[in-house]
Amino acid sequence: MSTPSPNGKGGETTRAYFMRGLFFIVPIAVTLWLVGFTLNLADAWLGTALRALVSLLLPDSSASLEAASWFGFVVSVTSVLVLCGAMVFLGKVASYRVGKEGLRLVDHLFIHIPGVNAVYRAARKMVEAFGDGGAGSFQRCVYLRFPSAYYTLGFVTKEVTEAGTGRKMLFVFVPHGPNPTGGFTQIVPADETYDAGITPDQGLQLVVSMGVLAPESLPKIGP
């Protein structure tokens, strides 16, 4: 009986260590990239206005402050905080009738701008689908056969009745993993789907994690 050579075993060990290191560093790198992207985006939107405000309030010190290495970071963080405050304020305003009417007017304006309306509609639908954890748009999770004989996870968005037969039909969104903002919408007979036994939030976690966060056991799939 042959035994693996030391070199082969060492190569396998090196690959295992590499994969462990990769799995360790990727979440950190993605998090740092996302933080940097957010800071840069907020600075691009509000940084100029904040720098102008500093120059107005502190005209004698503005030059020395902008020359400091930490000043740009402080402006970026402040921009993020201002944006978060603005979003909270808009959410508060939108809870009142006057605010709702104003936001409806803005929505109507963007919808009627040629070229911009297509992008705005797509972004609006995506936000409506995923902005509240999926709870507002996804009724429940089901398993269905798609695209072949094997089952996949889908999210029921609406139940309708087929004209003439009275059969219950489901609109089921099958997302791409790990990015659930894209996918396919299927119209499936209700009796050809099976309840997944999980909430829409748990279903989204499964899709984003590509099954890593799957429960230890699944409900019976099939008749």
- How many Cβ atoms are within 10 Å of 130's Cβ, its own excluded? 16
Look up the pTM and report it.
0.51
User: What percent of the chain is predicted at pLDDT more than 70?
Assistant: 88
Length of the chain: 223
Q: What is the pLDDT of residues 111-152, one digit of tens each?
A: 888 888 888 887 777 676 665 544 457 888 999 998 878 889
Smallest CA-to-CA distance from 175 within 150, 196, 146, 198 is with 146
Q: Taking 50 as the threshold, does the pLDDT of residue 2 lie above it? A: no
SS3 state of residue 171:
strand
Using left for φ > 0, alpha for ψ between -120 and 50, and beta otherwise, residue 73 falls in alpha
pLDDT of residue 141: 92
Using left for φ > 0, alpha for ψ between -120 and 50, and beta otherwise, residue 115 falls in left
What is the C-alpha to C-alpha distance for residues 58 and 51, in angstroms, rounded to an integer?
Answer: 10
E-state strands within the chain:
140-145, 151-161, 168-175, 183-189, 194-195
Q: Taking 60 as the threshold, does the pLDDT of residue 5 lie above it? A: no
CA distances to 38, 50, 167 from 154, rounded to whole Å, are: 31, 45, 20
Residue pair 110/104 in contact by the 8 Å Cβ criterion: no
Smallest CA-to-CA distance from 190 within 134, 144, 135 is with 144
Q: What is the pLDDT of residues 45-57, one digit of tens each?
A: 888 888 888 888 8
Average of pLDDT values for 181-201?
A: 88
**Beta pairing partners, 60:** none
SS3 state of residue 189:
strand
Q: Which two tokens stand for residue 198?
A: 């999980």
Phi first, then psi: give them for residue 18, nearest 5 degrees: -65, -45
Residue pair 77/50 in contact by the 8 Å Cβ criterion: no
User: What percent of the chain is predicted at pLDDT more than 90?
Assistant: 14
Which residue segments constitute the domains of the chain, with CATH numbers given? 1-95 (no CATH), 97-130 (no CATH), 140-208 (2.30.30)
What is the C-alpha to C-alpha distance for residues 202 and 138, in angstroms, rounded to an integer?
Answer: 12
